[in-house]
């Protein structure tokens, strides 16, 4: 008689869209979902990166190679954001929606360069641009959740915020403002989209490709963080992914934001 799988099979055959899944945390979430038997669509703006990510996952999980698909979506333009999201959800459902034509989970991890800068350098154009992918896109994506997800508390929409929302740093006001707004977004959407659950994950400093944009500053920043954090190191993608898995699988978690930040708020 085989062992029961009450806790390990919750994502088996689940249909999951990861917006921003070609690199970093999103890619890690895609790997984990495939590992748990889900059918996954990853999406990003760069078709080459998307295909590279798909190929890597197929090579890592050859027995589940047919479970991963990649699609492109451009979230960076205000005038086409709505139509791009509509096309993404439509294509995703066509690819993995099954007979019901519905998904089980959507995870939003897309991001771009962090708008860190001095107050005197702020402009309305820069502030709006900083929120395009990190705030306005996940909010607008919410309008496509109800039509495309199974209406059940077993379904979920997970949004990514960040520790800066609760741990202020000089020159991060724009980033922090949007990150803090995502906490409120999660709580309000949990009412608007019920019974589909809406939650957030708030990572601290995690070593991803995004930090490569910082160049030599990355080493100094990470060194300072490692001296301050309770864990004594910055996060790894495989650390933070566990929080996303928990949020997806916990059918009673709703309107909450989970922290995975190395103890940043207690030191």
Residues 6+ apart with CB under 8 A from 82: 140
Q: What is the pLDDT of residue 115?
A: 64
Q: Give pLDDT tens digits along the chain (267 positions).
A: 889 888 989 999 999 999 998 999 999 999 999 999 999 999 999 999 999 999 999 999 999 999 999 999 999 999 999 999 999 999 999 999 977 899 999 999 998 777 676 877 888 898 899 899 999 999 999 999 999 999 999 999 999 998 888 887 777 788 888 999 999 999 999 999 999 999 999 998 898 887 776 677 788 888 888 888 899 998 899 999 999 999 999 999 999 999 998 888 887
Q: What's the longest Cα–Cα distance across the chain?
A: 68
**CA proximity to 225, closest of 239, 204, 240:** 204
Length of the chain: 267
Supply the pLDDT for residue 177. 87
Q: Which residues pair with 106 in a beta bridge?
A: 17, 157
Planar angle of CA 142, 72, 114, nearest 5 degrees: 70
At residue 39's C-alpha, the angle toward residues 100 and 107, to 5°, is 90
What pLDDT does 77 receive? 95
| pLDDT value of position 46 | 94
Distances in Å between the alpha carbon of 74 and those of 35, 198, 216?
Answer: 27, 23, 29
Contact 72, 95 (CB under 8 A): no
Rg of the chain, C-alpha, whole Å: 18
- CA pair distance 229, 205, nearest whole angstrom: 10
The pLDDT assigned to 38 comes to 98
195 upstream amide cis, omega within 30 of 0: yes
Question: What structural domains does the chain harbor?
Answer: 15-210+236-260 (3.40.50.720)
Is the pTM higher than 0.75? The answer reads yes
The answer to whether 32 touches 116, Cβ cutoff 8 Å, is no
> Structure tokens of 59?
């090579």
DSSP 148-202: HB-SSTT-EEEEE--GGGTS--TT-HHHHHHHHHHHHHHHHHHHHTTTSEEEEEE
pLDDT value at residue 42: 98
Instruction: Read off φ and ψ for residue 149, nearest 5 degrees.
Output: -110, 150
66-116 residue pLDDT tens: 999 999 999 999 999 999 999 999 999 999 997 789 999 999 999 877 767
């Amino acid at each position: 008689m085989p062992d029961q799988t009450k806790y390990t099979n919750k994502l088996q055959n689940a249909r999951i869209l990861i917006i921003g899944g070609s690199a970093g945390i999103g890619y890690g979430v895609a790997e984990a979902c495939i590992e748990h038997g889900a059918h996954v669509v990853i999406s990003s703006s760069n078709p080459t990166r998307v295909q590279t990510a798909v190929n890597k996952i197929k090579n890592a999980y050859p027995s589940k190679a047919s479970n991963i698909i990649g699609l492109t979506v451009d979230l960076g333009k205000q005038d086409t954001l709505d139509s791009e999201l509509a096309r993404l959800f439509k294509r995703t459902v066509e690819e993995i929606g099954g007979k019901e034509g519905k998904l089980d989970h959507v995870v939003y991890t897309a991001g771009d360069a962090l708008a860190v800068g001095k107050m005197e350098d702020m402009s309305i154009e820069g502030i709006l641009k900083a929120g395009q992918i990190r705030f306005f896109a996940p909010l607008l994506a919410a309008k496509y959740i109800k039509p495309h997800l199974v209406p059940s508390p077993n379904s979920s929409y997970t949004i990514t915020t960040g520790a800066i929302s609760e741990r202020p740093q000089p020159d991060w006001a724009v980033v922090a403002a949007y990150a803090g707004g995502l906490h409120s977004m999660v709580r309000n959407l949990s009412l608007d989209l019920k019974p589909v659950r809406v939650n957030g994950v708030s990572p601290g400093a995690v070593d991803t490709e995004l930090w490569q944009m910082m160049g030599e500053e990355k080493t100094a920043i990470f060194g300072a963080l490692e001296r301050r954090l309770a864990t004594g190191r910055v996060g790894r993608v495989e650390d933070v992914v566990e929080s996303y898995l928990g949020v997806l699988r916990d059918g009673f978690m709703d309107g909450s934001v989970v922290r995975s930040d190395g103890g940043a708020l207690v030191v």
